[in-house]
Amino acid sequence: MDSSPQPSSIETLPSPEPAAAAVPSPPDPAAIEELEAILGHRFAHPALLLRALTHSSLAHERGALELPHEDNETLEFLGDAVVGMIVAEYVFRQYPELSEGSLTRLRGALVSRRHLAVVAASLGLGKFLLLGRGEERSGGRAKTALLANAMEAIIGAIYLDAGLEAVRALIDTRVIAPVLATLRQQLGAADGMGDFKSTLQELLQARHLGQPDYRVTGESGPDHRKQFFVQVRVAGESVAEGEGRSRKHAEQDAARRAIEKLRTAEEPQ
């Protein structure tokens, strides 16, 4: 097992590594070996790893740079399915007493973009990404979406390179184990993990503040990787904003943030 730090929280990303050179280039062999050691997997087909690290912004510059590998979007698609299946099996076997709804909430937290970005950052994945010039200048190495997408692409690449058991080891130790116990405790708490909209509504009713109003403020990404952005408003005023892979997930994220904000305001200064 490598000694790189484990993710400590779904909510907090470690500090990003310094940006690399402005003109991107494939990692040197030493960097590839370093990343393989971190992942605990040596690739039989190194081209898969390079593809998993290549963002579409660089692929669009391929004509000028003449890079021999593709971008990682289709590997993201595969990795998303693989991590979802492995996580679902894990929580199903670990907690046979839970209902379908509770298992779904656990799985959703573990495969969320926010959590996968935390995992990617804990592995130092940002410094290995191959980005286009514009994405490099805009701080792409620290962006939640890019880190989460790259993590899924890495998972897809390991699956293609060595099969299900090889990628299961990475998912079990890096994605699931560090946070599962905490998530299970949250699931049993009074609020009920994932039911933040109901909790927010009860909180607002207790304070006589009216009903929350959720509004979609934007969407991004391709159809198979759509990201929604939602704002929750109370009495016409914006309280918090959230994001997620569906409108419902984005609303739950916005409600969670609103609850945190309201409860923080209650605490004595």
For the chain, the helix, strand and coil percentages under 3-state DSSP, each to the nearest 5: 60, 10, 30
Residue-wise pLDDT for 158-172, tens only, equals 999 999 999 999 999
CB count within 10 Å of CB 139 equals 13
Q: Please determine, for residue 62, whether its predicted confidence score (pLDDT) is greater than 70.
A: no
Q: Please determine, for residue 80, whether its predicted confidence score (pLDDT) is greater than 80.
A: yes
Per-residue confidence band for 13, with pLDDT thresholds at 50, 70 and 90: very low
What was the pLDDT predicted at 194? 54
**77: buried, middle or exposed (CB in 10 Å: 19+, 13-18, 0-12)?**
middle
Q: Which residue has the higher pLDDT, 225 or 143?
A: 143
Q: Contact, 231 vs 214, CB < 8 A?
A: yes
What was the pLDDT predicted at 42? 97
Report all structural domains of the chain as residue ranges with CATH numbers, in order of start.
Answer: 29-188 (1.10.1520.10), 196-266 (3.30.160.20)
Q: Which residue has the higher pLDDT, 21 or 55?
A: 55
Q: Is the dihedral of CA 19, 49, 58, 55 positive or negative?
A: negative
Q: Which residue has the higher pLDDT, 25 or 254?
A: 254
pTM of the predicted structure, to 2 decimals: 0.67
Give percent of the chain with pLDDT exceeding 90: 45
What is the enclosing helix (H) or strand (E) of 213? Answer: strand 212-220
Annotated catalytic sites, by residue? 80, 152
Residues 25-48 have a mean pLDDT of 89
What was the pLDDT predicted at 133? 87
Q: Please determine, for residue 77, whether its predicted confidence score (pLDDT) is greater than 90.
A: yes
What was the pLDDT predicted at 60? 64
Per-residue confidence band for 113, with pLDDT thresholds at 50, 70 and 90: confident
What was the pLDDT predicted at 58? 77
Q: Please determine, for residue 192, whether its predicted confidence score (pLDDT) is greater than 80.
A: no
CB count within 10 Å of CB 67 equals 19
Separation between Cα atoms, residue 198 and residue 99, nearest integer Å: 19
Separation between Cα atoms, residue 69 and residue 157, nearest integer Å: 13
Residues 217-221 have a mean pLDDT of 89
Mean pLDDT over the full length of the chain? 82
